[in-house]
Chain A
């Protein structure tokens, strides 16, 4: 799914002053691209991500999703578009704590109006894919961070979204687990999903094919990644825990 932003501005009124977060962002992500969005805090990364994710409106500018103008959709149409096309993965996983793993993954399908047996089947299928098939009835609190993130990825995938938006998905995970998650994004990218990864970790950004740097509300740098990291290779070379302990002692 392609994403096309042109002249995107975002302003907030902060008391008497206008806060100009985005000052004309032009960006085109082809369908199936894997890009990392980097930038210091306050640069407008999150706002841009929210606009792409249809959670926020641009004050000005046009946004085309798969060629279709989505800047003027109303609340209900946006909810529908989010449900169908966009999968979110957050740093803090954002699973609903009272619901089981399976129910969490079924939630987007419920809002789509799918019948319960189908939801269950589809959710179970995706959970199997992310390696969580044996934890379907667990609560999020009974899972490790890496496992929770796998469930969150399953939830982002279950509805067949073409765009995956990941906001610091490895931020709360240790290196090894983070790499496992990155391996999943690489795999999804290989399957043709458009992946936009927000991170401030240069190493993590190197898993993407392209890095975008945003500062003061504009994209300042846009370059392909010359030496892409491959999560599985890095994992293989990573010392095992025992080796790490030996080195430490």
Chain B
């Protein structure tokens, strides 16, 4: 009795009741498909987030505000108000990090209309220093970025993101043309090549002004949203984070680390946090999907029990003809295994298809990894063996004399 014999007997049994077999396998199909699709979505989201965070630039430290536990801030510059970063903070960091090779870039943002003639569009104004282009790795497709040395007085130069440029000028080259932002006239000196989404923001809609210009002519306040510091190397990051924290704590006159009204975080820390959260969500969802795989397994067991009962006489005949208990066990486990592995294979295909459909229609990224496919298939096999074993054991234990008389 060889493997092909067992396979043939099992296939014959499965084919003799195609609808029932298909419905039984469907339980596993759904379980495996949901595991594969959910993990694909989770891993896709991970890749997407990683790319976005890495898209910020390399070896980046991001300084933002945070609300200290007591709610207020001890910074004498804005005592009583919410925590804020100021242009002065950027200057202090720039001076304090002199000689370390680190590059400091503050960013102010504002949503404001931008117009040319009768055409108006909404732009996300980014007020920053000219080194921004270098730190954030902006590619300039036309013209140039904001000019160095223009940091002290408002300038009339503007650089447009690719989307902003297209909305205002269509296919025309915007360089040398003028736009209005809040009643001020600016000359377009450059266009940034398309970069896409960063978080939930389309950075191609950005419009870049110098920080001084933004402060004086757009925002009419001096609130800095972020300060980026680019480290010269990954190894320099920890030391740099400490120095920055010390400098800012001094600048804000805060001695108790508990009361810091700013946060200093490296890109890799952001990445780890995001990945960690995502892993938890993916694991949780896959766990729920595994439960459905379990339900599929119970379906297999149920049908196998029915199948054993229906074929009691057949088992009796086989035993009378010389089948060993082992032969009977293998026969029924093979049957359960075929159902579950078939369900597993179809489930993997189904899961990949679902992931594809979601990434096509929702625009989410999905990643099908070989390991997940392998694990899903392994699980479906395990379900077959686990839930097929008991019915097979019952079949092998049948008394052939009674089984032969079974009607």
List residues of chain A with CB under 8 Å of any chain B CB: 50, 53, 55-56, 75-76, 79-80, 82-84, 88, 90, 94-99, 107-108, 110-113, 116, 155, 159
Whether the pair A107, B318 counts as a contact (CB closer than 8 A) is yes
| Residue in contact with B12 in the complex, picked from A50, A56, A79, A99, CB distance below 8 Å | A99
Besides A75-B324, A108-B322, 19 more A-B contacts (Cβ < 8 Å) are A50-B401, A55-B319, A55-B400, A55-B404, A83-B321, A94-B313, A94-B317, A94-B320, A94-B404, A95-B317, A96-B314, A98-B16, A111-B318, A111-B322, A111-B327, A112-B322, A116-B4, A155-B321, A159-B322
Say whether, besides A98-B12, A98-B16, A113-B1, A108 and B401 are in contact (CB < 8 Å).
Answer: no
Most buried by A among B2, B4, B317, B404: B317
Q: How far is the CA of A107 from the CA of B401 in the complex (A)?
A: 19
Q: How far is the CA of A249 from the CA of B1 in the complex (A)?
A: 57
Cβ contacts under 8 Å, B317 to chain A = 94-96, 107
Whether the pair A53, B323 counts as a contact (CB closer than 8 A) is no
Which residues, 34 to 87 on B, are CB-close (under 8 Å) to A? none
Whether the pair A88, B320 counts as a contact (CB closer than 8 A) is yes
Whether the pair B321, A82 counts as a contact (CB closer than 8 A) is yes
Q: How far is the CA of A144 from the CA of B13 in the complex (A)?
A: 24
Cβ contacts under 8 Å, B316 to chain A = 94
Cβ contacts under 8 Å, B404 to chain A = 55, 90, 94
Cβ contacts under 8 Å, B5 to chain A = 110, 116
A111 → chain B closest CB, angstroms: 4
Whether the pair A76, B12 counts as a contact (CB closer than 8 A) is no
Q: Is B325 close to A, CB under 8 A?
A: yes
Whether the pair A111, B320 counts as a contact (CB closer than 8 A) is no
Cβ contacts under 8 Å, B4 to chain A = 116
Cβ contacts under 8 Å, A98 to chain B = 12-13, 16, 314
The 4 closest A-B pairs by CB, nearest first: A83-B322, A111-B322, A108-B321, A111-B323
What is the interface of chain B mostly: helix, strand, loop, or mixed? Answer: helix
CB closest chain-B residue, reference A106: B5
Cβ contacts under 8 Å, B1 to chain A = 110-111, 113
Q: How far is the CA of A95 from the CA of B320 in the complex (A)?
A: 12
Which residues, 1 to 34 on B, are CB-close (under 8 Å) to A? 1-2, 4-5, 12-13, 16
Q: Mark B288-329, 1 if CB is under 8 A from A, else 0.
A: 000000000000000000000000011011111111110100
Cβ contacts under 8 Å, B322 to chain A = 79-80, 82-84, 108, 111-112, 159
Cβ contacts under 8 Å, B321 to chain A = 82-83, 88, 107-108, 111, 155
Count CB-based A-B contacts (< 8 Å). Answer: 61
Whether the pair A79, B319 counts as a contact (CB closer than 8 A) is yes
Cβ contacts under 8 Å, A116 to chain B = 4-5
Q: Mark B253-272, 1 if CB is under 8 A from A, else 0.
A: 00000000000000000000
CB closest chain-B residue, reference A155: B321
CB closest chain-A residue, reference B4: A116
Size band of the interface chain B makes with A: 20 to 34
Which residues, 393 to 407 on B, are CB-close (under 8 Å) to A? 400-401, 404
A99 → chain B closest CB, angstroms: 7
7 CB-based A-B contacts, threshold 8 Å: A76-B324, A82-B321, A97-B314, A110-B1, A110-B5, A111-B324, A159-B322
Say whether, besides A96-B314, A98-B12, A110-B5, A82 and B320 are in contact (CB < 8 Å).
Answer: yes
Cβ contacts under 8 Å, B2 to chain A = 113
CB closest chain-A residue, reference B16: A98
A105 → chain B closest CB, angstroms: 10
Most buried by A among B5, B321, B325, B401: B321
Whether the pair A79, B323 counts as a contact (CB closer than 8 A) is yes
Say whether, besides A76-B324, A79-B319, A56 and B401 are in contact (CB < 8 Å).
Answer: yes
Cβ contacts under 8 Å, A111 to chain B = 1, 318, 321-324, 327
CB closest chain-A residue, reference B317: A94
Q: How far is the CA of A84 from the CA of B319 in the complex (A)?
A: 13
Cβ contacts under 8 Å, A88 to chain B = 320-321
Most buried by B among A55, A75, A84, A99: A55
Q: How far is the CA of A79 from the CA of B320 in the complex (A)?
A: 7
Which residues, 103 to 121 on B, are CB-close (under 8 Å) to A? none
Q: How far is the CA of A90 from the CA of B322 in the complex (A)?
A: 16
Cβ contacts under 8 Å, A110 to chain B = 1, 5
CB closest chain-B residue, reference A111: B322
Cβ contacts under 8 Å, A56 to chain B = 401
Q: How far is the CA of A86 from the CA of B320 in the complex (A)?
A: 9
Q: How far is the CA of A112 from the CA of B323 in the complex (A)?
A: 9
CB closest chain-B residue, reference A81: B322
Whether the pair A55, B12 counts as a contact (CB closer than 8 A) is no
Q: How far is the CA of A81 from the CA of B101 in the complex (A)?
A: 89
Q: How far is the CA of A110 from the CA of B1 in the complex (A)?
A: 5
B76 → chain A closest CB, angstroms: 90
B84 → chain A closest CB, angstroms: 80
Q: How far is the CA of A108 from the CA of B323 in the complex (A)?
A: 8
Q: How far is the CA of A172 from the CA of B404 in the complex (A)?
A: 16
Q: How far is the CA of A159 from the CA of B320 in the complex (A)?
A: 13
Cβ contacts under 8 Å, A155 to chain B = 321
Whether the pair B314, A75 counts as a contact (CB closer than 8 A) is no
Cβ contacts under 8 Å, B13 to chain A = 98
Most buried by A among B318, B322, B324, B401: B322
Q: How far is the CA of A75 from the CA of B323 in the complex (A)?
A: 10
Q: How far is the CA of A90 from the CA of B321 in the complex (A)?
A: 13
Cβ contacts under 8 Å, A75 to chain B = 324-325
A84 → chain B closest CB, angstroms: 8
Q: How far is the CA of A33 from the CA of B74 in the complex (A)?
A: 113
B377 → chain A closest CB, angstroms: 29
